[in-house]
């Protein structure tokens, strides 16, 4: 694991965009894994700007979402498909074509079967780089505390903490936040060649401490990613504020910059 600590969310997003673009450029047939939520939005803005400048394109890059709310139509702005289409497609987007954006089907008659279908799709995709966020409770995708650390894609019940955190996307109405999601499992996520996890703000500080310095535990699902051979964690100073070994991590980052 490599941890980069940045003065603010803008510097973090610059570095994330640089890494995503460079990693995809290095592949002949790249594929991308994307997260939703508010943290990656500045990164997506930089990918759009790079596309506008003619420096980057997702035109031929199959792209896979991490998760989706069960029961929300893609026409609803809170649906993750809607959000990703908004962030990545269209004339001012990244070149991504709608048919190349793969998301779990939120309206599938049988969400459990749909989770299996999606797992097979992502499992066969050889994702080059997977963008991740992290929940305050340590979830990645919607792998909530207490779930299997070796899970494949599945239907997950959102915890109260997650539903409260996400109510901000639903006019602060917790009751409007869906109770179920389809999420890539932790083992599915770990199939990607590289993982890049972004976190900003003090609300994420405890989860980042557990991810970076804590024991692997179902209490903090992100800790399962400690086993991944190419995990880069990018945080701002606030999200890094509970790290005990920040000094050592900065030295490791400085040393690794010669390679990355
Ligand atoms: C979204 C996802 C979630 C978010 C997490 C953080 O696809 O998988 O794990 O990354 O809930 O969300 P934000 O960035 O809104 O704090």
Return the half-sphere exposure (C-beta side, CA atoms, 13 A cut-off) of residue 63.
25
The dihedral through the CA atoms of 176, 72, 122, 12 has a sign that is negative
State the Cα–Cα distance between residues 164 and 177, nearest whole angstrom: 8
Give the helix/strand (H/E) hosting 181.
Answer: strand 180-183
Q: Per the structure block, which two tokens stand in for 168?
A: 């901000």
- CB 139 less than 6 A from any atom of ligand 1: yes
Binding site membership of 140 for ligand 1 (Cβ less than 6 Å): yes
In this predicted structure, what is the pLDDT of residue 257?
Answer: 77
DSSP assignment letter at 182: E
Q: Is the CB of 38 under 6 A from ligand 1?
A: yes
Task: Name the residue of 9, 37, 65, 168 whose CB sits within 8 Å of the most ligand 1 atoms, as the mutation to test its pocket.
Answer: 37
Residue 145 has pLDDT above 90, yes or no: yes
Q: Which atom of ligand 1 is nearest to the CA of 183?
A: 8
Residues 18-42: tens digit of each pLDDT: 999 999 999 999 999 999 999 999 9
Q: Tens digit of pLDDT for each residue in 45-77? A: 999 999 999 999 999 999 999 999 999 999 999
Read off the tokens for 213: 């310095």
Residue 259 pLDDT more than 70?
no
Atom 10 in ligand 1: which residue has the minimum CA distance? 133
119-156: b or e for each residue (b if 16 or more CB lie within 10 Å)?
Answer: beebbebebbbbbbbbbbbbbbbbbbbebebebbbbbb
133 ligand 1 Cβ < 6 A? yes
Using alpha carbons, select from 166, 182, 192 the residue that is nearest to residue 39: 166
d(CA 79, CA 102) in angstroms, rounded, equals 13
Q: From the CA of 213, how far away is ligand 1's center (Å)?
A: 21
Active site residues: 67, 137, 139, 144
Tell me the C-alpha distance between 201 and 107, whole Å.
Answer: 33
Residue 64's φ and ψ, nearest 5 degrees, are -125, 130
Quick check: CB of 249 below 6 Å from ligand 1? Answer: no
Residues 72-99 pLDDT 10s? 999 999 999 999 999 999 999 999 999 9
Q: Is the Cβ–Cβ distance between 172 and 102 less than 8 Å?
A: no
Which residue, 56, 60, 36, 38, is CA-closest to 48? 56
């Amino acid at each position: 694991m490599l941890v980069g600590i940045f003065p603010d969310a803008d510097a973090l997003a610059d570095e994330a965009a640089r890494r995503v673009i460079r990693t995809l450029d290095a592949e002949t047939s790249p594929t991308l894994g994307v997260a939703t939520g508010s943290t990656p939005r500045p990164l997506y803005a930089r990918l759009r700007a790079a596309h506008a400048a003619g420096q980057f394109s997702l035109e031929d890059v199959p792209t896979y979402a991490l998760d989706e709310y069960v029961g929300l139509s893609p026409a609803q702005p809170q649906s993750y498909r809607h959000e990703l289409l908004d962030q990545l497609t269209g004339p001012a987007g990244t070149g991504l074509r709608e048919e190349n954006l793969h998301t779990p089907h939120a309206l599938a008659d049988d969400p459990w079967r749909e989770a299996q279908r999606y797992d097979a799709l992502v499992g066969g995709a050889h994702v080059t780089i997977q963008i991740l966020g992290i929940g305050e409770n340590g979830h990645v995708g919607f792998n909530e505390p207490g779930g299997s650390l070796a899970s494949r894609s599945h239907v997950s019940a959102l915890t109260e903490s997650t539903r409260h955190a996400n109510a901000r996307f639903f006019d602060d109405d917790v009751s409007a936040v869906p109770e179920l999601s389809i999420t890539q499992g932790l083992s599915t996520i770990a199939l990607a060649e590289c993982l890049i996890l972004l976190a900003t703000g003090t609300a994420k500080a405890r989860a980042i401490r557990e991810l970076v310095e804590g024991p692997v535990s179902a209490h903090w699902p992100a800790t399962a990613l400690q086993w991944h051979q190419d995990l880069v964690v990018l945080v701002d100073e606030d999200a890094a504020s509970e790290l005990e070994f920040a000094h050592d991590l900065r030295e490791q980052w400085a040393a690794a910059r010669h390679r990355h």
